[in-house]
Copies of this chain bind each other. A is one copy, B any other.
Amino acid sequence: MTTLTTPRHFGDRMDEAIQRSGSVICVGLDPRPDQLPPRLRVQDPKNRRELAKAYETFCLGIIDAIAGRAGVIKPQAAFFEELGPDGMAALGSVIRYGTRKGLLVILDGKRNDIGTTAEAYARAFIGPESAWGCDALTVSPYLGQDSIEPFVKRCDEVAGGLFVLVKTSNPGSGFLQDQVAGEKKIYLRVAELVTSLNATRLGASGYGPVGSVVGATYPEQLHELRAAMPTSPILIPGFGAQGGSASDVAGGFDTRGRGAIVNSSRHIIFAYDRPEFRGKFGDDHWQAAADAAVQEMNDQLNAVRSITEHA
């Protein structure tokens, strides 16, 4: 029944990206001036225009390196915003290039606001016709259900997705998220909202467009939240540099080994500079190093998830 002009449901697109690539990796694009490969570094990091160009070159190069082995990228808005309007132009270019290479693009912007302002953020980022053209956006829930709904509505219109922060990977995430109100932790309250928003929006994959963010650094909560949100695509940050291991994220997958993607940023994009990679890849082979890092992480993750199907 699907025609070429019908936009495809985000939950299904994420599921397909996992199956097509045989990977649950989300490559985080978090460029930093002093970790760029030496040849791409700029003499004066205060020259924002030059640095933005270097970020763009670097991120496009990483996309080229990983596009065959991972299905999802997640540019981090903060590092581009830090460079002002030039950085934002580079971000736009990175998003477009990722899309052209067939990757799902999740912008990590942790945006939110109320009413018509939330609508503006949703229109800004989600969908191919939007100014930034992302497939999905990360969204913060502090303002409540009525601040999330405009994003969901936009996702309905353009077959986009959102990822609501539920239990974040940082050491202090419990400050609000673990508070118990009415015998229920705050993060579980958010999880139930996610599940209810997906209820009437499930794709053929069994997943809805309302994803969630749950840190690899909290494996018990990841188990609990997988059960509480059986229809939500989970984005799992905190793997690698932040301490999460493959066994820590195992609880995030469904019985088919899908339904979640695991983000890694520094460990992949700056793999050329990891001690164990330094011998194998010189500074100029940062793309080969990134490719090898994705392979290694695919091996680790595919070992802990039960893969029942392959496209």
Give the B-binding residues of A (Cβ under 8 A): 30, 48, 76, 78-79, 81-85, 87-89, 91-92, 108, 110-115, 117-118, 120-121, 123-125, 131-132, 140-147, 165, 168-177, 179-182, 186, 189-190, 193
Do A177 and B123 have beta carbons less than 8 Å apart?
no
Nearest Cβ distance between residue A192 and chain B, in whole angstroms? 11
A-B contact pairs, 21 of them (CB 8 A): A76-B113, A78-B111, A78-B120, A78-B124, A81-B125, A82-B121, A84-B124, A85-B89, A85-B92, A141-B142, A141-B176, A142-B176, A142-B177, A146-B170, A146-B171, A146-B172, A147-B170, A175-B193, A176-B189, A176-B190, A179-B179
- When distances are taken between beta carbons in the complex, the residues of chain B under 8 Å from A146 are 170-172, 175
A132 touches B84 (CB 8 A): yes
Contact call B189/A170, Cβ cutoff below 8 A: no
How often does this chain occur in the complex, in copies?
2
User: A92 CA to B49 CA in the complex, in Å?
Assistant: 14
| Cross-interface CB contact of A172 among B87, B145, B177, B189, cutoff 8 Å | B145
- Given A85-B85, A123-B82, A124-B81, are A144 and B177 also a contact pair (CB < 8 Å)? yes
A96 to chain B minimum Cβ distance, whole angstroms, is 11
Point out the residues of chain B lying under 8 angstroms from A87, CB to CB: 131
Name the B residues within 8 Å of A111 (CB-CB). 78, 110
A120 and B79 within 8 A (CB): yes
Residue of A111, A118, A146 with highest tally of chain B CB at under 10 A: A111
Point out the residues of chain B lying under 8 angstroms from A141, CB to CB: 142, 175-176
A179–B175 touching, CB < 8 Å: no
Assess the B82–A85 pair: CB atoms within 8 A. Answer: no
On whether the beta carbons of A131 and B176 are closer than 8 Å, the reply is no
Q: Is the CB of B170 within 8 A of A131?
A: no
Closest chain-B Cβ to A10's Cβ sits at a distance in Å of 20
> When A176-B186, A179-B189, A186-B181 are in contact, do A81 and B131 touch as well, CB less than 8 Å?
yes
In the complex, chain B residues whose CB is within 8 Å of the CB of A125: 81
A117 to B241 CA separation, bound complex (whole angstroms)? 14
Complex-state Cα separation, A113 to B139, whole angstroms: 11
CB-CB < 8 A to A182: which residues of B? 179-180
Q: Which of B78, B118, B190 contacts A121 (CB 8 A)?
A: B78
CB distance A142 to B144 under 8 Å?
A: no
A193: B residues at CB distance < 8 A: 175
